[in-house]
Amino acid sequence: MKIRTLPLIIIGLILFSGNIFGQDKIHKRNQEIIDCKIKEIGTESIKYSLADYPEDVLFAIDKDKVLKVIFEDGREMDFMVELSNPENYVDNKKNAIKLDFISPLTGNTTFAFEHSLKPGRSIEAGLGIIGLGYMPRDRDSKGVFLRFGYKFIKSPDFYFSKMRYSHILKGGYVKPEVSFGYYSETVSHYYGTAEVSSSKEQTFTGSIHLILGKQWVFDNSFLVDFFGGIGYGFNGGDKEYQYGYINASTDFPLSFSGGLKVGFLFK
């Protein structure tokens, strides 16, 4: 009778040891899974023990390397990289109104609105009012253009524990951007050096640019945004300058843009 019950006892011990150990699972971001017994979840690391080592030997893993843990009873706990954790930026103002500081000297005044979507990502829309600014009187240009961009803010090349953006809108960035515009202006017609007539002409413009820039934020209130872009410009006119961007030539669609924005942040 004792001989018959011995295999059952051994199986029971194996099952019992399995219930004691290996019930928690740590899912790492690299898809690796660690079967363990979680002992502690701290502010920076998770401590656990393994079945192949004495129970008083503890191992630790950085929380930024962990996607989630599944406990013995089936409960799950998800983790987020601290750099991308929105809770670290609750005090940051996530909206900004900007003015292209140089634009009034080029025949237009351009405003922009930026909204942070999450750490490292934001959207920006711009409105340019053509004719609001310094303009030669004989041209009398009037119109508008719109810009829309999606900003990717650069993250650090390497990470330290508890690293975060100094401000959610601060840093170097890449921004794909599209623009559309319309304006009318007075065009003079000459015979030799003498002006013989003038007429109003209408022009529709468009561009696709890749913008590189850097934005600084001061005291969570004021910002400076310096940028430059290159891409393709399309218009129905024969001028290089198209209020918002400059074509390399009238025969080839390569175009450039740039500026210096200043602005204020708000919730």
pLDDT in tens, 224-233: 999 999 999 9
- The CATH number given to whatever domain includes residue 29 is 2.30.30.100
Distance CA 7, CA 123 (A): 66
Q: Which candidate, 185, 187, 155, places its Cα nearest to that of 173? A: 155
pLDDT in tens, 64-100: 899 999 999 999 999 988 888 888 899 999 999 999 9
Instruction: Quote the CA–CA distance of 123 and 148 in Å, as a whole number.
Output: 8
Q: Taking 60 as the threshold, does the pLDDT of residue 19 lie above it?
A: no
Alpha helices in the chain (DSSP H): 2-20
My answer on whether 49 and 104 are in the same domain is: no
Q: Hey, which bits of 158-193 come out as E strands? A: 171-191
Q: What's the whole-number mean pLDDT along residues 238-260?
A: 88
Q: How far apart are CA 160 and CA 188, in angstroms?
A: 63
Q: Answer whether residue 247 is part of any domain.
A: yes
Using pLDDT thresholds of 50, 70 and 90, give the confidence band for residue 138: low
Query: Which two tokens mark 26?
Result: 């740590």
Per-residue pLDDT, averaged over 46-74, amounts to: 93
Evaluate whether residue 22 is within a structural domain.
yes
Q: Could you give the count of Cα atoms lying within 13 Å of 98 in the half-sphere of its Cβ?
A: 27
**CA 85, 87, 91, 96 torsion: positive or negative?**
positive
Residues 157 and 252 in one domain: yes
Q: Are residues 43 and 172 in the same domain?
A: no
- The answer on 153 and 50 residing in a single domain is no
Of 21 and 173, the structure prediction assigns the larger pLDDT to 173
pLDDT band at 187 (very low <50, low <70, confident <90, very high): confident
Within a domain: 259:
yes
- Span 233-255, average pLDDT: 85
Lowest mean pLDDT among 87-91, 146-150, 178-182: 87-91
